[in-house]
Amino acid sequence: MQRTSRMLTPQEALDIILAHVQRLPSEEVGLMDAAGRVLAEPLYAPEDHPPFPAATMDGYAVIHDDTSPWREVIGEQFAGHVTDVTVTPGTAVRITTGAPLPAGADAVVPVEDVELVDDHIVIRREEVRPGENVRPVGADVHRGELIVPAGTVLGPAEIGLAASLGIASVPVSRRPRVSVLSTGDELVDPGQPLGPGQIRDSNRFMLVAALQQAGAEVVWAGRGPDDVERLTELLRERIAESDVVISSGGVSVGERDLISAALRTLGTVHIERLFMKPGKPFHFVTVGRTLLFGLPGNPVSALVGFEIFVMAALRAMTGQQPVIPEPVTVVLAHPIEPGDRIEYQRAIVWCDETGTLFARNTGPQSSARLLSAVGANAYLIVPPRAEPYRPGERLRAILRRPVHGQAR
């Protein structure tokens, strides 16, 4: 069947998809299970940190303007142990890093600046400043301060900070439940012999890996049956159990493209084709709150469709910020021949010593060549135009991975 619907730009498609996303409910998880989860509500500090004035050096707690020529050492204060000694003029208390400053003292002189003679110390410098080598109460974090905004993906720093303030569990968005299926009679799994005309089902493993990395709960729904009624039935089952259903293959214009037919009977079709390469055939359908993405069968087209559109939906669903990563400006390192659609070329972006970002593509950009995505840290956005892009021209790129100081 020939489609007449206009091809949407990637930005138009993102706007439509995001307009149909609903936020997932939140749940409370312990800090040991919080890594990679998206914080559902802002975290505020329930207490001051440090909770007591603490020494930042190993040394002696003293009174800064004490004029005594030497101080008697009247006790020891270690981290975790509090003594009830009070520092008075002419005295000092031995103290370790992190230990609470004893009453009466207002500074810590490091051991390096002190001479210990029997049971007293002589400070080997002119002046001790008030508050020297002491972190006052709340110096790092004030009670009530915003410490982690909602929408943050929790990592080691956020989790460690929460623990330091006595927070034992955090509210996070529920993981998206996502079902994945592949379609195509030609597909066999790796590990099985290839018959004539058969190819391996790479999309299954690629999409499951992408979803695991995105923090989703993934269900492999199997290979779609080659009968439209049974395929519709399988999709209906998965829709009931899932926030998102993703298929690959069968969305182009052939008679065997059953997914299009099944999706049309199941829900509202919002997108069928994109003004984009790879990924021209791309279906976005909703059934109630569930989002369905019919990705193309070509492996690179499926990967790009996933990373640009499905990831945006998953981020919006969990409240992650930013929903759409801001592209960076890059300088082309070689000529590029534009296509007839907005092209997302797999590329390597690197940074020179002045901080300028450069880009080169990863070689042949066929939608079947997954090797073009291996090692690519960016999608280089190449708009169509009559003449080739020249080296030194500027384009925009979406980063998928960190940028290094040289092309790798």
Ligand X SMILES: Nc1nc2c(c(=O)[nH]1)N[C@H]1C(S)=C(S)[C@@H](COP(=O)(O)OP(=O)(O)OC[C@H]3O[C@@H](n4cnc5c(N)ncnc54)[C@H](O)[C@@H]3O)O[C@H]1N2
Binding residues among 151-190 for ligand X as defined by CB under 6 A: 182, 184, 186-187
Query: In this complex, which beta carbon is closest to ligand X, that of residue 298 or of residue 345?
Result: 298
Crossing angle of helices 228-241 and 258-266, rounded to 10° = 50
Query: In this complex, which beta carbon is closest to ligand X, that of residue 290 or of residue 367?
Result: 367
Of 44-52, 145-153, 196-204, 324-332: span binding ligand X (CB under 6 A): 196-204
Query: In this complex, which beta carbon is closest to ligand X, that of residue 232 or of residue 301?
Result: 301
Binds 203: which of ligand MOO, ligand X, none (CB < 5-8 Å by kind)? ligand X
Instruction: Based on the shown chain and the rule CB under 6 A, indicate whether residue 203 belongs to the binding site for ligand X.
Output: yes
Instruction: Based on the shown chain and the rule CB under 6 A, indicate whether residue 296 belongs to the binding site for ligand X.
Output: yes
DSSP three-state, residue 268: strand
17: enclosing H helix or E strand: helix 10-19
Distance CA 67, CA 13 (A): 75
Distance CA 80, CA 312 (A): 47
Binds 345: which of ligand X, ligand MOO, none (CB < 5-8 Å by kind)? none
| Bridge partners, 344 (sequence order) | 381
Binds 77: which of ligand X, ligand MOO, none (CB < 5-8 Å by kind)? none
Binds 249: which of ligand MOO, ligand X, none (CB < 5-8 Å by kind)? ligand X
Query: In this complex, which beta carbon is closest to ligand MOO, that of residue 53 or of residue 278?
Result: 278
Total residues contacting ligand X by CB under 6 A comes to 25
Of 36-44, 195-203, 284-292, 390-398: span binding ligand X (CB under 6 A): 195-203
What distance lies between CA 225 and its chain's CA centroid? 35
Residue with tokens 């997932």: 24
Encoded one letter per residue, x for contact with ligand X by CB under 6 A and - for no contact, window 33-52 reads --------------------
First to last CA, the chain: 45
DSSP class of residue 33 equals G
Distance CA 77, CA 60 (A): 9
Per the CB < 8 A criterion, the answer to whether 400 and 377 are in contact is yes
Binding residues among 221-280 for ligand MOO as defined by CB under 6 A: 277-280
Binds 59: which of ligand X, ligand MOO, none (CB < 5-8 Å by kind)? none
CA distances from 314 to 86, 150, 239, 293 (A): 58, 16, 16, 12
The DSSP string of 281-329 is EEEEEEETTEEEEEE-SSHHHHHHHIIIIIHHHHHHHHT-S-SSPPPEE
The one among 102, 249, 305, 319 contacting ligand X by CB under 6 A: 249
Of 63-71, 81-89, 159-167, 201-209: span binding ligand X (CB under 6 A): 201-209
Distance CA 142, CA 252 (A): 58
Query: In this complex, which beta carbon is closest to ligand X, that of residue 102 or of residue 278?
Result: 278
Query: In this complex, which beta carbon is closest to ligand X, that of residue 45 or of residue 262?
Result: 262
Q: What is the nearest approach in angstroms of ligand X to the Cβ of residue 291?
A: 18
The closest alpha carbon to 207, from 297, 285, 122, belongs to: 297
Residue ranges in contact with ligand MOO by CB under 6 A: 277-280, 296, 298, 301, 367
